[in-house]
Amino acid sequence: MERSTIVRVHEGLHARPATRFVKLAKSFESDVEIVKDGKAASAKSSVKLMLLGVKEDQEVTVRATGADAIEAVEALIGYLENPLSGLDEDAAAAIAPNPAGAESVPAAPVAAPEPAAAADGALRGIAASEGVAIGPAFAHFPPEIRAEGRELSAGEIPAEIERLKAAIAAVQRRMDKALAENSLSAGDRGIIAALKDIAADETLTGETEALVVRGVDAVSAVISATSKIASEFGGVDDHYLNARADDVHAVGRQICLALLGQDDVSLENIPQGAILIADDIGAWDLARAPLKRIGGVVCGHGGATSHIAIIARSHGIPAVLGLGERINTLREAKAIALDGDAGFVAADPDETVRADFARRVGQAAAERDALTAFRDFTPKLADGTVIEVAANIGSLEEIDAALEAGAMGVGLFRTELLFMRHMHLPSEDMQAETYSALARAFAPHPVIVRTLDIGGDKPIAGIEFPEEENPFLGWRGIRMCLDRPDIFKRQLRALLRAAVHGNVKVMLPMVSDIDEVRRTKTLIEECAAELDAEGAPHAMFPLGVMIETPAAVLIAPALAREVAFFSIGTNDLTQYVMAADRLNPTVAKLNDVTNPAVMSAIEMTARAGVEAGIMVGMCGEAAGRPDLIPAFLRMGLTELSMSPASVPRAKKRIAELETGAGG
């Protein structure tokens, strides 16, 4: 059984997406391969999979042989075709609350040119995580582990293999213990899970064991095997995969330490606000470090896509990486000034530099504090109208980030991930528990749950989708749900049960006809009657629709008489109005929400809702754009839902409008 597809996983199968892909592949008995450009790799080996260099928008073939081959291929193809399935943990890391209070988590900056000494004596490296910092230097240069170079006798080999296996198992147990700690963020947990997968990967373990069988001692074998694999990663034409070489070395070091019965040098004693200086620091060490105390990171190794950079960005820690051998000039420094925006590092800065950095640090802190003040702020217009600034989330794991950001409820809860995470359709009880937990977490604020928005572009186990020329215009969203009442009624019953636990609202995706709303209302009434007969506690919920098709815009006045609210989904609305696939880079410039045609569609929708007296909100990412918020509010929108990281800035923008400071 085999099937080809175009990869839609963000940035392709790099570390964490590869780990999740392998985990899914291992859940099947069949042998599974993925093929790209005529080269095949086991789908059950994260190292082999990453070395294949599968990128976003490339074509691959998934091939399986065995009793459950059909199920394996369909599930893995579904993962590759669904962008969210490659983003869930990475996105969680990107929107995690920032311990340092940063207003947002920056994206990976573009790598700086080849590092060179600056004219003022500062060192230039790769600007890997934005921000400025100045503080005491904390040099972290653990001793290098060198190959023992022992030649084993034939009689020593079996015991050496067992020693190697025990060391690998010990490293995995240590990582399992770290994964169980509640202090780890979702992003850090994903990174450690990827490292654990490398430690257990058959490519690494097999290569190492083969060397031991040939008489090489275990420590030397680990160093040799990790160096070879890291070199292969370094030769792949992909900056994300190049950065995985550092992860392989980090895992190899941990296995060697376990073989030697040693512990690595700890970061537990790093002073508050200190700048961490290291030739290299493994993601394993940094993820477990007291990150709230680290003022900045300077490294000889690493780049903007390395796990060091990802961890630093997700925790708001400025970082300059890739200094190479010049990192050794900082070993004896007493203080460090670090500019993560420009990629410069100055050792023992003079008073002028200190004063400049102190000013910039203070300015950044003031900006962060200003946004922090909006956490519990209720934005209102000059006439007293409350504007609900809510969060878009897709799982219960994202609740804390949304609450920390000050979200006034949830404007879009994507239920697709609940269906995609399981090999079978989630039961009514499982759904009810999830929706109830969501409602309780944000009560009394509203949570708007979008009913299942699944189509041929992102299939799930348990639903057979037809082959479609254009899944975005096909059997998806409310269309599929109404055709499958066995699935739809299960979700509606769960939502009715959850409504007793908080302020639950429900909205329908991809509506293009009034009859779709009326048929849904009939199903809701049937579900409520069934629950009444069963004596199950439940409550009715307000029903709304997403406005994301041109048809919905054109019939908005009629729809407004049928529903309790509108929520404008700008991502899909833009692609449908502009007739431009939002996943197609060649027409990316057409996917602009500020295009007059799209803005006109939004205004028409808002006018229809306001005239009918219903709430009009927006749950596309455009809702969080400070430059567009004034226009949306003038149109009559009273709810804006966005990524949690954008919530404080949106609240601030509305406050400026209230006072007249924002124009």
Question: Which of the residues are catalytic?
Answer: 307, 619
Task: Name the residue among 590, 588, 579, 585 with its Cα closest to residue 58.
Answer: 585
DSSP H or E run through 336: strand 335-339
In one-letter notation, the amino acid at residue 206 is: G
The number of residues in the chain equals: 663
Cβ–Cβ < 8 Å for 572, 457? no
Cβ–Cβ < 8 Å for 562, 514? yes
β 126-129/503-508 pair status: unpaired
Residue 274 CA neighbour count, 13 Å, CB half: 19
- In whole angstroms, how large is the CA radius of gyration of the chain? 27
Backbone angles phi, psi at 641, to 5 degrees: -125, 140
Q: Residue 87 CB: number of other CB atoms within 10 A?
A: 18
Task: Measure the CA–CA gap between 144 and 139, rounded to whole angstroms.
Answer: 15
Helices (H), 457-595: 478-483, 485-498, 514-534, 550-554, 556-560, 570-578
Tokens of 276: 């961490």
Cβ–Cβ < 8 Å for 648, 371? yes
Cβ–Cβ < 8 Å for 11, 19? no
Peptide bond into 444 cis (omega under 30): yes
Cβ–Cβ < 8 Å for 293, 315? no
Cβ–Cβ < 8 Å for 190, 96? no
Cβ–Cβ < 8 Å for 301, 140? no
First vs last C-alpha separation in the chain: 61
Task: Name the residue among 88, 110, 146 with its Cα closest to residue 414.
Answer: 88
Task: Name the residue among 210, 248, 208, 252 with its Cα closest to residue 51.
Answer: 248
Grouping H, G, I as helix, E, B as strand and the rest as coil, residue 335 is strand
Cβ–Cβ < 8 Å for 50, 13? yes
Token look-up 């420009």 returns: 342
Task: Name the residue among 584, 606, 580 with its Cα closest to residue 593.
Answer: 580
Q: How far is CA 418 from CA 26, 454, 478, 511, in A?
A: 20, 11, 17, 22
Q: How far is CA 514 from CA 167, 175, 600, 603, 610, in A?
A: 64, 53, 22, 20, 19
State how far Cα 241 lies from the chain centre: 17
Task: Name the residue among 460, 467, 451, 365 with its Cα closest to residue 131.
Answer: 365
Task: Measure the CA–CA gap between 361 and 597, rounded to whole angstroms.
Answer: 43
Backbone angles phi, psi at 646, to 5 degrees: -90, -10
